[in-house]
Amino acid sequence: MLPPPGTQEKLDDVKAKLINGEIKVFDTATFTVKGETLTTYKADVDSDAAFEKDTEVVANGEFQESKFRSAPYFDIDIDGITIK
């Protein structure tokens, strides 16, 4: 089965927008936390023994996932997602 016509063009368009920054994977305008847009968040980037949150990871309307270390640090409960 072949993908519908225009699929490759759409993928190429999205890829270009991700590369040029027009689309952000973790765009904080697309979700809320406790009813509010996420504007600041500190993550435990240096992984010290105390697990202290030490680095601001929200900038320019984007959660900067894996910018400061290769392991993920997104541990936020987004509104509307049920945690079991």
| Strand boundaries in the chain, DSSP class E | 42-43, 55-56, 58-59, 62-63
Residue length of the chain = 84
Q: How confident is the model at residue 43, as a pLDDT? A: 93
Q: How confident is the model at residue 48, as a pLDDT? A: 79
Q: What is the mean pLDDT of each run of 10 residues along the chain (84 residues)?
A: 94 95 92 96 87 93 92 91 88
Whole-number Å distance between alpha carbons of 48 and 54: 9
Q: How confident is the model at residue 15, as a pLDDT? A: 96
